[in-house]
Amino acid sequence: MSSATLAAVQPASAFGRTLRIFLRETRYEFTRLVRTRSFALSVIGFPVAFYVFFGLVMNRGEQIGSVSVAKYMLAGYAVFGLVGAAFFGIGVGLSSELAAGWLELKRASPMPPIAYLLAKCCSAIAFGIIIVSILTGLGVLFGHVSLSLPDYARMIALTIIGVLPFACMGMALALLLPFSSAPGIANMIYLPMSFCGGLWIPIMLLPHFLQRFALLLPTYHLGQLMLGSFGYASAGTTSSHWLGLAGFTLMMLGIASLGLRRLEENS
């Protein structure tokens, strides 16, 4: 009997330990990102500034389909913001800690690696929620956006899930590129990917070949899912967008694991 209790207690306490480490790791990672002004200000400031200009100031009360421009643009810039938080928070953060040898010190400690990765993801999710909430507040207050509570809840749920594919992309980037070029290349991926995915200006205003190209972009699929949650009828089906996101996530995980293997071979 006592051995049965022991066996039951051991995994539970190991899980409890990992959970405690994960929670503390998350708290400090989030605190660190908030204190790193260059990160916090740009990752929150850019989507907010863009939304204010293109969604609110230049808005003349027009409709796109059944949705007002302010609400349509809210979906785009919400995705733009959460992608930035995930991609830069994890990509550039991991890349810098890898380059500085800090990750090595962490790996030599008894810290469970999963706690480290999840802490980074959760911090990105927290930033994503902050950004989406600020944008929503601005839209409701200044753009006459009408948003029900379930609408908002669906946006937050999509934010939480939507961070993951871009967190994986960040991880792949950090494992493949040296830190000296990572932030620059991250921007060169992030900005065109956002534009071509229809996050800045509605996708149907883009040239035809870009609309076709957008089908390959995770930003397009997440943007369409976000619009779909507002009741906007998007070009593809909901399941095609989910498939697109899942495929992209798997591809990024594959690239990341290749990068990890290369890293381990060299260490």
Partner 1 sequence: MNAMLERISVPTSPIANESTGAFASLTAVTKRYSNGVLALDNLSLTLRRGEIVALLGPNGAGKSTAIKLLMGLSSPTSGAVRIFGADPRNTAARLRIGVMLQVGKAPEMLRVREHIELFRGYYPNPMPYASIIQAAGLEGIEERMFGQLSGGQKQRVLFAIALAGDPDLIFLDEPTVGFDTKARRGIWAQIRSLAARGKTVLLTTHYLEEADALAHRIIVINKGRVVCEGTPEEVKSVGSIAPGTSDRRSLKTIRCATTLAIPTLLAISGVTSAESSSGLTTIVSTQAESTLRELLALDTTLHSLEVQSPALEDAFLAITSDRE
Q: Tell me which residues touch partner 1 (CB under 8 A).
A: 17, 20-21, 24-25, 28, 31-32, 35-36, 96-97, 99-102, 104-105, 107-112, 264-267
Q: Which is nearer to partner 1, 57 or 105 (CB)?
A: 105
Q: Which is nearer to partner 1, 98 or 189 (CB)?
A: 98
Q: Which is nearer to partner 1, 22 or 230 (CB)?
A: 22
Q: Which is nearer to partner 1, 104 or 233 (CB)?
A: 104
To the nearest whole angstrom, how small is the minimum distance from the Cβ of residue 122 to partner 1?
15
To the nearest whole angstrom, how small is the minimum distance from the Cβ of residue 123 to partner 1?
12
To the nearest whole angstrom, how small is the minimum distance from the Cβ of residue 39 to partner 1?
9
Q: Which is nearer to partner 1, 34 or 161 (CB)?
A: 34
* Residue 136 to residue 111: CA distance in whole angstroms: 37
To the nearest whole angstrom, how small is the minimum distance from the Cβ of residue 109 to partner 1?
5
To the nearest whole angstrom, how small is the minimum distance from the Cβ of residue 105 to partner 1?
5
Rg value, the chain, Cα: 20
Look up residue 31 and give its two tokens.
């605190």
Q: SS3 for the chain, per residue?
A: CHHHHHHHHHHHHHHHHHHHHHHHHHHHHHHHHHHCHHHHHHHHHHHHHHHHHHHHHCCCCCEECCEEHHHHHHHHHHHHHHHHHHHHHHHHHHHHHHHCCHHHHHHHCCCCHHHHHHHHHHHHHHHHHHHHHHHHHHHHHHCCCCCCHHHHHHHHHHHHHHHHHHHHHHHHHHHHCCCCCHHHHHHHHHHHHHHHCCCCCCHHHCCHHHHHHHCCCHHHHHHHHHHHHCCCCCCCCHHHHHHHHHHHHHHHHHHHHHHHHHHHHCC
To the nearest whole angstrom, how small is the minimum distance from the Cβ of residue 33 to partner 1?
8
The answer to whether the CB of 74 falls within 8 A of the CB of 145 is yes
Look up residue 136 and give its two tokens.
């929503």
Q: Which is nearer to partner 1, 6 or 149 (CB)?
A: 6
Q: Which is nearer to partner 1, 37 or 208 (CB)?
A: 37
* Residue 100 to residue 34: CA distance in whole angstroms: 21
To the nearest whole angstrom, how small is the minimum distance from the Cβ of residue 37 to partner 1?
9
